[in-house]
């Protein structure tokens, strides 16, 4: 991290177009969302912050960010659902924009003619919000959870700026990823996914406890996960590796329906098996995009079955 000419901290690891590279401007955020004010305090480093172990504070920060930078006037979640860190989610969208630009003479394609499939859109609807507000793309969001879809639909219908740009479909079979939600003859420019990366509820709980320890909090019998998350959002049998292997296998069954398939990968140990699955599926091209947010590194793996 370094400072710009105005003395603000700049997160140089975030994508150059990421609106959150200069950190959180709390006075600006509070001006747009006064409800954030009670959660903001001056930390020992004499900078303004919130308690990131407090789910109410994190949720209010997200509301303020979405209102300030993306014009979202209404955004809410059912209790316990995943409340994602906005800067990291924005990075995924911007890197996907760069990927699509490569096939468009270096120009980022914009507007509703660009169609994006969001696998596991979740109640937060974060990728469609950012993707449409930044680039005007049209999204289809799928999920197995009907309550999550209802919440996402409510967000879309309550914000005029999202009108006509977001469509939501329930995946009727948890074993399927593409089958059951794609309409006949329907094609997409890219699919995106933030898969559940824990392999069990116990692993998800252990991760929560580590986060609390890193935040300097005492361990409790049932620690609160500051970013929340339901079962289908947090874990899948055998973890992200198994989920993404299924995604790769099923993408090979519809090779022409999507120009690029992509997924977020949290653990670098997952990569070798995914590369093996992509080779077996005969993907014609595979890209790995590394993303860094603070101390966390994640990756986007994208693949296509189409000729360059």
pLDDT of amino acid 292: 86
d(CA 150, CA 177): 19
Contacts of 249 (CB under 8 A, 6+ apart): 277, 281
pLDDT of amino acid 212: 43
pLDDT of amino acid 206: 46
pLDDT of amino acid 216: 57
Helix (H) or strand (E) holding 138: strand 138-143
In order of 73, 74, 122, 155, 182, the CA distances from 125 in angstroms are 14, 12, 6, 8, 19
d(CA 54, CA 70): 24
For 26-32, the CB contacts below 8 A with 24+ separation are 28/68, 29/61, 29/64, 29/65, 29/68, 30/64, 32/64, 32/67, 32/68
Half-sphere exposure of 239 (CA within 13 A, CB side): 17
Phi, psi angle pair for 293, to nearest 5°? -125, 100
Tens-level pLDDT at each residue, the chain (308 residues):
443 444 444 557 899 999 999 999 999 999 999 999 999 999 998 999 999 989 999 999 999 999 999 999 999 999 889 899 999 999 999 999 999 999 999 999 999 999 999 999 999 999 999 999 999 999 999 999 999 999 999 999 999 999 999 999 999 998 999 999 999 999 999 999 999 864 445 554 544 444 445 545 554 444 444 444 445 545 456 788 999 999 999 999 999 999 999 999 988 999 999 999 999 999 999 999 999 877 788 999 999 999 87
d(CA 169, CA 174): 13
Q: Where are the beta strands (DSSP E) in 183-228?
A: 188-193
Q: Taking the CB of residue 7, how many other CB atoms lie within 10 A of it?
A: 6
Q: Which two tokens stand for residue 278?
A: 């992509």
Fold of 78-199+227-304: Rossmann fold (3.40.50)
Q: Which of 109, 96, 151, 160 is nearest to 126 (CA)?
A: 151
Extents of the domains making up the chain: 78-199+227-304
Say which DSSP state 239 is in: H
Q: Which of 168, 216, 185, 202 is nearest to 43 (CA)?
A: 216
How do beta strands 115-119 and 296-304 pair? Answer: unpaired
Q: Which of 35, 13, 29 is nearest to 88 (CA)?
A: 13
Q: Evaluate if pTM is beyond 0.95.
A: no
Q: Taking the CB of residue 116, how many other CB atoms lie within 10 A of it?
A: 25
């Amino acid at each position: 991290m370094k400072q710009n000419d105005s003395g603000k901290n700049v997160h140089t690891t975030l994508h150059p177009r990421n609106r959150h590279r200069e950190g959180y401007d709390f006075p600006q955020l509070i001006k747009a969302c006064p409800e954030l004010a009670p959660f903001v305090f001056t930390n020992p480093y004499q900078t303004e912050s919130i308690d990131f172990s407090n789910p109410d504070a994190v949720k209010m920060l997200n509301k303020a960010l979405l209102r300030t930078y993306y014009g979202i006037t209404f955004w809410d979640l059912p209790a316990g659902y995943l409340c994602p860190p906005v800067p990291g989610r924005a990075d995924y969208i911007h890197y996907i924009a760069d990927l699509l630009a490569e096939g468009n003479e270096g120009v980022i394609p914009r507007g509703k003619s660009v169609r994006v499939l969001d696998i596991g859109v979740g109640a937060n609807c974060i990728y469609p919000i950012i993707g449409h507000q930044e680039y005007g793309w049209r999204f289809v969001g799928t999920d197995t959870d009907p309550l999550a879809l209802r919440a996402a639909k409510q967000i879309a219908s309550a914000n005029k700026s999202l009108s006509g740009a977001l469509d939501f479909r329930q995946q009727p079979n948890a074993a399927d990823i593409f089958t059951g939600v794609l309409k006949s003859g329907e094609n997409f420019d890219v699919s995106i996914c933030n898969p559940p990366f824990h392999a069990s509820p116990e692993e998800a709980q252990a991760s929560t406890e580590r986060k609390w320890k890193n935040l300097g909090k005492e361990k409790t019998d049932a620690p609160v996960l500051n970013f929340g998350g339901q079962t289908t959002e947090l874990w899948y049998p055998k973890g992200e590796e198994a989920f993404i292997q299924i995604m790769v296998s099923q993408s090979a069954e519809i090779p022409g329906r999507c120009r690029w398939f992509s997924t977020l990968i949290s653990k670098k140990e997952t990569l070798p098996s995914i590369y093996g699955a992509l080779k077996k599926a005969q993907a014609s091209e595979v890209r790995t995009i590394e993303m860094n947010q603070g101390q966390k590194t994640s990756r986007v793996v994208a693949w296509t079955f189409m000729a360059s």
